[in-house]
A and B are shown apart, each in its own frame.
Chain A
Amino acid sequence: MRLSSSAKVTLRVFAGLVMAAIYLPLLLVILNSFNATTSGAFPITEFTTRWWEAAFHNEGVREALWTSLRVATVATVIALLLGSMIAFALSRYDFFGKNTVNLLVVLPIALPGIVTGVALNNTFKTVLEPLGIGLGLFSVIVGHATFCIVMVFNNVQARLGRMNKGLEEAAMDMGANVVKTFFHVTFPGFRSAFVAGGLLAFALSFDEIVVTTFTAPPGTETLPIWIFNNMARPNQAPVVNVIAAVLIIVSMIPVYLSQRMTGDDKK
C-alpha cells in the first residue's frame, strides 16, 4: 500500500511505543530490585544489592521454589502422557464424539481459571476428603495437570497431522511390531513437538496462581503463591521484587528453547 512517509513514521513510532509499553514495566522490575528504599519511590536515588542477598537466603522462597518444581514436574509428566494419548486418538481415529473430546481438552483453559479452581476445590472438599484425599500437594498437581494437558495435546496433534503415516506402515511391513514401530519411527517423528509441549506445560504450571490458590491447603506455597502472599507486605516487597526480576530473566529461557526447537523442525 502506498503510504505517505509521515504515515510510515507515525506507524513506526507507534510500534516503538507499544514495545516500550511492553518492556519498560519489566525493565522497571529489574531496576527496582536494586532500589535501596523500600517505598518504591521513583526515580531511584540509591542502589543496593542487599535485597538480592536477602532473597537468596530467604527460606520461604527456597521452599516455595522446591514445591513449584515438584508440582510442575509431576504435572508435566501427567500432561505429556495424557496429552499425547488424546492427540493420537484424535488425529489417527474417527469415532463418535470426537469433537466433544476435543472440546473437553480445551475446556480447562477456555473456562476462567477461577471456575476450574473452585470446581476442584469443591470436589476435593466434599467428595475426596471423606475418602482420605484432602487438599494437599496432590490436589495442586491434579489441578495443574488438568490445564497442562492441552499444551502437550496442541503441539503433538499439530505434528501428527503433518507426519507421513506411510513411514509407519513401511516399518510394519518390514516386520517391526507396533511397539518397535512406535519407538523407532513414530516417536522420533513427533519428539520435538512432545518436548516443546512439555516445556510449555512446565512453564504454565510454574506460573499458575488461580487454580493453585483454590487447590492448595493453607501452608502449601508454590512460588507464585509465595509472591502473592508477600506482594502486599511492605517489608517483603523488595524480596518479591528480586524474585520477580529473576523470574523475568529465567522464564524466557524455556520459551526461547521451545521456539528454537519447533523452529528447527520447520526447516
Chain B
Amino acid sequence: MAAPTIEPEAESGTAPAPGSTRGGLGDKLSRLLYARPKLRLTALLTLPLAWLGVLYIGSLILLFITAFWTTDTFTSKVIPAFTLENFIEILTVQAYQLTALRTIGIALAVTVLCAVLALPLGFYMAKVASPRMRAVLAIGITLPLWAGYLVKVFSWRITFMSGGPLDWLLAPLGMTGPGYGTTALVITLAYLWFPYMAVPVYSAFRQIPDNLFDASSDLGAKAWSTVRTVAIPLLKPAFIAGSIFTFSLSLGDYIAAQFVGGKTQVIGTVIASNINLNPPLAAAFGTVPIVVVVLYLFLARKSGALKQL
C-alpha cells in the first residue's frame, strides 16, 4: 500500500479503533467512546432522561400525590396530609360528574364529526381526484394545522358571533347560527383537530388497491355497500389512530370552550379555575382526563390500531 506521507495512519487500514494511531484529546475520547457502546449510550441518554424522566415524570407523580393533599380554606395554602377527600368530591358532587361526562360527550361528538367528514373526503382524494387535485387537497388539509391555535379559535369566534357572518349567511334561509355554546364548541374543536383524522384516513384509503373496489362492484355491490363492507373495515385502524388525537385533544381543551362555548363548562375549565384556589382538587380532577385517555388508548391497543401509528 503506497500511502502518502501526509496521512500515515491510512496505512493502518485495519485499525481496530478509529484514529487509534493519533494521540490528540479528541482521538483519545474517540477511542474511549468507540470501544464502549454503553458509555456512548449513557452519554446520550443522561440529559434527556434527567429532563423527561425526572423533571417531567417527577412532576406528574408529584401532581398525583398532591391530589391526595388538602388546602387551608383561608390561605389556599397546600397542606401535605393524606386524604381521599378530593377524589370523593369529584366522584360524588354532581356538577363535577356532569362536567366530566359532558366533556367526554363533546370529545366523542368531535371524533364522530371528524370521522364522518374524513371518510368521503379521503375517498375522493385517494380514488377519484386527479393527482394534481390530490396534492392540492393534501396540502390544503394540513396547512391550517400551523395557522395558530388561537387564531383558529378566534376565526370561529368571529364566525359564530351574533349578527356575524354565519347569521348573515343563514338569514336568507330564515335561520340563525347556533351562537356560542356546545354546538359551536363541537364544530370549533372538530375544525381544530380535523387534520389528525383526515390525514390517516386518506393515507389508508390510498393503500387500498383499486381492484378491491372493482371486484366488489363486479360482484354486484353498489358504491355505498362497497364503502361499507370493503373500505370501512380496512380503514378501521386509521379511524382509531385519528380518533386518539381528536378525542384526547378535545378532552383536554378548555380555551376554545372559553371563547366559543358560551357557558359550557368542561374538565379544563374546572381545573384552570381551581389551580390557584385549591391545587389538590385541580390535581385530582386532572387525573380524570389521564384516566380516560389511558382507557381509550387501552381499548385502541386491543383493536391493534396502535401498531400502525
Q: Which residues of A contact B (CB under 8 A)?
A: 1-4, 7-8, 11-12, 14-15, 18-19, 21-23, 25-26, 28-29, 32, 39-43, 81-82, 85-86, 88-89, 93, 95, 101, 104-105, 107-108, 110-116, 118-123, 125-127, 142, 145-146, 149, 171-181, 203, 207-210, 213-214, 224, 227-228, 231-232, 240-241, 244, 247-248, 251-252, 254-255, 259
Chain B count of residues within 8 A CB distance of the other chain: 102
Complex partner residue of B18 from A114, A176, A244, CB under 8 angstroms:
A176
Spot the interface stretch: B82-90, B93-101, B137-145, B232-240.
B137-145
B178 interface contact, C-beta 8 A? no
Contact present for B18 and A203 (CB under 8 Å): no
Q: Is B108 an interface residue (CB 8 A)?
A: no
Q: How far, in whole Å, are A145 and B282 apart by their CA atoms in the complex?
A: 24
Instruction: Check if A178 sits within 8 Å of B149, measured CB to CB.
Output: no
Given A22-B144, A180-B26, A255-B143: 10 more A-B contacts, CB < 8 Å: A12-B128, A19-B140, A25-B156, A101-B49, A118-B271, A119-B56, A176-B18, A179-B30, A240-B154, A247-B151
The residues of A that contact B303 with a CB separation of less than 8 Å are none
Chain A's closest residue to B153 (CB) is: A231
Q: Tell me if A25 and B10 are in contact (CB < 8 A).
A: no
Q: How far is the CA of A175 from the CA of B22 in the complex (A)?
A: 9
- What DSSP secondary structure best describes chain A's contact surface? helix
Q: Are A122 and B62 interface neighbours, CB within 8 A?
A: yes
B180 CB, min distance to chain A CBs, angstroms: 11
Complex CA gap A15/B34 in Å reads 55
Do A1 and B34 touch (CB < 8 A)?
no
CB distance from B100 to the nearest CB of A (A): 13
Question: B13 touching A173 by the CB < 8 A rule?
Answer: yes
Is the Cβ of A209 less than 8 Å from the Cβ of B121? no
Most buried by B among A40, A101, A115, A232: A115
B200 located at the interface, meaning its Cβ lies under 8 Å from any Cβ of chain A in the complex: no
How far apart are A186's CB and chain B's nearest CB, in angstroms? 13
- CB of A26 within 8 A of CB of B155, answer yes
Distance in angstroms from A85 CB to nearest chain B CB is: 5
Neighbouring B residues of A88 by C-beta, 8 Å: 44
What B residues does A22 contact at CB under 8 A? 140-141, 144, 191, 194
Whether the Cβ atoms of B53 and A104 lie closer than 8 Å is yes
Q: Are A118 and B275 in contact (CB under 8 A)?
A: yes
Q: Is the CB of B18 within 8 A of A89?
A: no
Closest-CB distance, A141 to chain B (whole angstroms) = 12
Would you give the shortest CB distance from B46 to chain A, in whole angstroms?
9
Within 8 Å by CB of A248, from B59, B148, B213, lies: B148
**Inter-chain contact B55/A178, CB cutoff 8 Å:** no
- Chain A residues with CB below 8 A from B125, complex form: 15
Closest A-B pairs by Cβ, 7 of them: A112-B252, A177-B30, A1-B213, A177-B19, A25-B155, A172-B18, A119-B59
Asked if B148 and A93 make an inter-chain contact with CB atoms under 8 angstroms apart, the answer reads: no
Roughly how many angstroms separate A40 CA and B156 CA in the complex, as a whole number? 12
By a CB distance below 8 angstroms, the chain A residues around B15 are 173, 175
| Interface contact A179-B26, CB-CB below 8 Å | yes
* CB-contact partner of B157 in A119, A123, A231, under 8 A: A231
Give min CB distance, A150 to chain B, whole Å: 10
A11–chain B nearest beta-carbon distance, Å: 4
A-B contacts, 22 of them at CB < 8 A, read A18-B117, A22-B141, A26-B144, A32-B158, A101-B45, A108-B56, A111-B252, A112-B252, A114-B289, A118-B275, A118-B282, A120-B56, A122-B59, A122-B66, A171-B18, A180-B26, A210-B253, A227-B150, A228-B150, A241-B158, A251-B146, A252-B143
Contact status A224-B223, CB under 8 Å: no
- Knowing A14-B121, A149-B52, A175-B15 are in contact, say whether A123-B144 is a contact too (CB < 8 A): no
- Given A2-B214, A104-B53: A82 and B48 interface contact (C-beta under 8 Å): yes
A206 → chain B, closest Cβ, in Å?
Answer: 8
CB-CB nearest in chain A for B156: A25
Q: Is the CB of A14 within 8 A of B120?
A: yes
A42 near B151: Cβ-Cβ < 8 Å: no
Of A126, A174, A251, the residue contacting B66 (CB under 8 A) is A126
Per the bound structure, the CA–CA distance linking A240 and B148 in Å amounts to 13
Do A244 and B154 have beta carbons less than 8 Å apart? yes
Residues of B within 8 A of A43 (CB): 165, 168
A28 engages B155 (CB within 8 Å): yes
Whole-angstrom CA separation of A240 from B26 in the bound complex? 53
| B131 on interface, CB distance cutoff 8 Å | no
Closest to B30 in A: A177
Q: A89-B44, A119-B63, A207-B149 are in contact. Are A1 and B217 (CB under 8 A)?
A: yes
The complex places the Cα of A146 from the Cα of B60 at a distance, in Å, of 13
Q: How far does the alpha carbon of A127 sit from the alpha carbon of B61 in the complex, in Å?
A: 13
Contacts of B58 in A (CB 8 A): 123
Given contacts A15-B124, A112-B248, A114-B252, contact A89 B154 (CB under 8 A): no
Q: Is the CB of A114 within 8 A of B271?
A: yes
The answer to whether B279 and A181 touch across the interface, beta carbons within 8 angstroms, is no
CB contacts (< 8 Å) of A26 on chain B: these are 144, 147, 151-152, 155
What 1/0 mask marks residues of chain B from 204 to 243 whose CB sits below 8 Å from any chain A CB? 0000001001101100000100100000000000000000
- Taking a contact as CB atoms under 8 Å apart, the answer to whether B148 and A213 are in contact is no
Give Cα distance in the complex from A122 to B58, angstroms.
Answer: 11
